[in-house]
Amino acid sequence: MASTMTLFRARLLREDSRQQLGHSVQVVYVIGRGVAGKAEHLELSRDIAQKFNNDFGDSIRSHGFDDGLFFPQPEPLITGPATRVMSLRDGTKKMSKSDSSDNSRINLTDDADTIAQKIRKAKTDPEPLPSEEKGLETRPEADNLVGIYAALAGRSKSDVLREFGGGQFSSFKNALVELCVTKLSPVASEMKRLVADLSLDKVMLQDVVQKKF
């Protein structure tokens, strides 16, 4: 299963790059967990574009591309209140699947009970939530949870704080649990369905074999 999922992931990376380069995309919206880090599909597109332009620069220019750039290198556009989602156990560290503590992150395969448990156990501080966004600057855990809520709800951090500012984390976490479960549980259900679907493995492996041989 691990090798199959690796093949599936590799196919997704190649498909993303094909679409970006084929349509001469110059800006790519980068969303999701850890977007401030390296976005693999975008990096692959940039690497391919750079190598192609370098290797065939003379031919490209002879065909009217004076700058020698047949493929533009797509740039990331990172927006939103949670462009960098941090660990649930340490608000100064990026949320990562490599963290030894499973409670530090929300996995796409987590069910509703697991998501709720992780949010309720998330590290906080003893102070109430601030009423203004400036009050989050020295409170990384609070900033992280407010950012997650804002991103999932499609609201700004300031808007979230207008609703929950001055209140205790216990009340805010209950609201965050409800929101996370609503937004993420369907994703987990679909992930589990795909992983359990043995026919998907067969189709993917057959496709790889046909292309290879």
**Residue 213 belongs to some domain of the structure:** no
Q: How many domains does the chain have?
A: 2
Q: Give yes or no: residues 67 and 144 share one domain.
A: no
**Residue 145 belongs to some domain of the structure:** yes
**pLDDT at residue 7 in the model:** 35
Range of the domain at 39: 2-79
Q: Give yes or no: residues 185 and 110 share one domain.
A: yes
**Residue 202 belongs to some domain of the structure:** no
Lowest mean pLDDT among 25-34, 56-65, 116-125, 153-162: 25-34
**pLDDT at residue 158 in the model:** 95
**Residue 90 belongs to some domain of the structure:** no
Q: Is a pLDDT exceeding 70 seen at residue 122?
A: yes
**pLDDT at residue 211 in the model:** 55
Q: Give yes or no: residues 106 and 187 share one domain.
A: yes
- Over residues 136-144, the mean pLDDT reads 96
**Residue 87 belongs to some domain of the structure:** no
CATH number reported for the structural domain that contains residue 173 in this entry: 1.10.240.10
Q: What is the pLDDT of residues 79-90, one digit of tens each?
A: 556 567 899 999
Determine the Cα–Cα distance for residues 93 and 78; give it in Å rounded to an integer: 19
Q: What is the DSSP string of 111-128?
A: -HHHHHHHHHHS---SSP
Q: Give yes or no: residues 14 and 71 share one domain.
A: yes
Q: Is a pLDDT exceeding 60 seen at residue 53?
A: yes
How many of the other CB atoms lie within 10 Å of CB of 166?
Answer: 9
Q: Token pair 């041989």 is at which residue?
A: 213
Q: Name the burial class of residue 169, with classes exposed (0-12), middle (13-18) and buried (19+) by CB atoms within 10 angstroms of its CB.
A: buried
Q: To 10 degrees, the CA torsion angle through 151, 157, 158, 160?
A: 70
Q: Give yes or no: residues 72 and 109 share one domain.
A: no
Q: Give yes or no: residues 75 and 131 share one domain.
A: no
- Domain final position from 79, 110, 133: 79
Q: Give yes or no: residues 106 and 73 share one domain.
A: no
Q: What is the pLDDT of residues 37-46, one digit of tens each?
A: 445 566 777 7
Q: Give yes or no: residues 136 and 190 share one domain.
A: yes
**Residue 14 belongs to some domain of the structure:** yes
Q: Give yes or no: residues 75 and 137 share one domain.
A: no
**Residue 117 belongs to some domain of the structure:** yes
- Domain final position from 12, 44, 79: 79
Q: Give yes or no: residues 129 and 72 share one domain.
A: no
Q: Give yes or no: residues 113 and 57 share one domain.
A: no
- Domain final position from 79, 113, 136: 79
**pLDDT at residue 160 in the model:** 97
**Residue 84 belongs to some domain of the structure:** no
Tell me the HSE value of 149 on the side-chain side, using a 13 A CA sphere. Answer: 23
Single pTM value for the model? 0.62
